[in-house]
Amino acid sequence: MERIISADSHVSVQHDQVKANLARTHHEAYDAAVAEFYRWFLGGGFGSAAAANRSGLDIYNRALGRPGNSDPKARLADMDADGIDTEVMYCELSAYRYLYMVEDGAEPATRAFNDTLHQFASECPERLVVNYQIPINDIDEAVSEVARVAAMGGRSLQLPVFPREVGMPDYHDERYDRLWAAVQETDLPLCFHIGLNTAVDDIARRDPTPRLGLTVPCIPPTTTEALGMWLLTGVLERFPELKLVFVEPGLGWVAWYLYFVDDMVRYQGYEYPAIKELPSHYYARNVNLTFIKEPDAIDHLRHRLGTANLLWSTDYPHPVTSWPHSQDVIAEQFRSVSAEDRALMLCGNAQRVWGI
């Protein structure tokens, strides 16, 4: 039977579960940090627009609310029903947005959060691959947590897509070099899942459509900023063995972007002094992209994007998820794809990236 790995699925964790792994002396500070995050989130832009437009939170979804969202046994049953062998999962809580604000307790709160994810995956660690979140506001703590995660058998690390949203400089800043060195030593991938982006806050406030229908498709292309910060600024020159995964970015624009920045170097006289090769070189060597249903890109752009750089996913349990019809979706989307390329995108690439 064909082995299928979803490179992007989700798991729900509740604050009470995290606090059960956290000393009581830190509970008040943890709650205060969570409250501060929600005040920011609901105070403007995407968050306030979603709160004002409740229909945006009530989209019909065949998988949302199932026990498999939070119970590992139920999740494995849902995976079996869908013919999925292994899932790489991202927590619905972007904890790095508030963990660093836990006064006198950011480090133990981070450990408690990641321990909660680890407990979920421990039901069947060979099939449930969770992303451990690494707050970046204290580099010493970040390096320590990367080492701890690796030591307990973790396979994947998640960082903010845009560090400026947690008050930190962009990832080319040399203050991160010790972190990148530590990550490179573990051979664990760094994963960047698109989501709330303050760059589209103004669009969200002005969006006249139900469910923020105008805003949502504006979010994936903003990943050009994040991708460029990695490809063009020399980080991958200094740390050539890093493995990056951009999660749910969309594919079509990436092919255009790589052509455009290469053309800027070749024919337009632009210079990127921190890199020695064309930008597309670092993409091909270091970057992976997940996708759900993007048949045009798979049919016409996969060779430009590199079949070795593409990872299929179910996005369980979000509205676009292919669950429980993933087998039909795969058959339709890959009907013109060779068996070799199909095996790479459905399984082989994920095995390489996550050491599965």
Q: How far apart are the first and last CA of the chain?
A: 17
Using 50, 70 and 90 to split pLDDT, how confident is the model at 53? low
Single pTM value for the model? 0.94
pLDDT (tens digit per residue) in 296-347: 889 999 999 999 999 999 999 999 999 999 999 999 999 999 999 999 999 9
For residue 79 the two structure tokens come to 């995976």
Q: Is 210 left (phi over 0), alpha (psi -120 to 50) or beta?
A: beta
User: One-letter amino acid identity for 14?
Assistant: Q
- The answer on pLDDT for 48 being more than 90 is no
Query: Residue range 90-112: average pLDDT?
Result: 96
Q: What φ, ψ does residue 136 adopt, rounded to 5°?
A: -110, 5
**At 222, is the secondary structure helix, strand, or coil?**
helix
Output 42 or 222, whichever has higher pLDDT. 222
What was the pLDDT predicted at 29? 98
How does DSSP assign 235-302, residue by residue?
HHHH-TT--EEEES--SHHHHHHHHHHHHHHHHS----TT-SS-HHHHHHHHEEEEESS-HHHHHHTH
Q: Give alpha helix (H) positions in the chain.
A: 15-20, 27-41, 45-52, 72-82, 106-121, 139-151, 177-186, 201-206, 223-231, 235-238, 252-267, 279-286, 295-300, 302-305, 326-333, 339-343, 349-354
Q: What is the DSSP letter of 197?
A: -
**Angle 223-231/252-267 helices, nearest 10 degrees?**
40
* CA–CA dist 150, 159 (Å, integer): 15
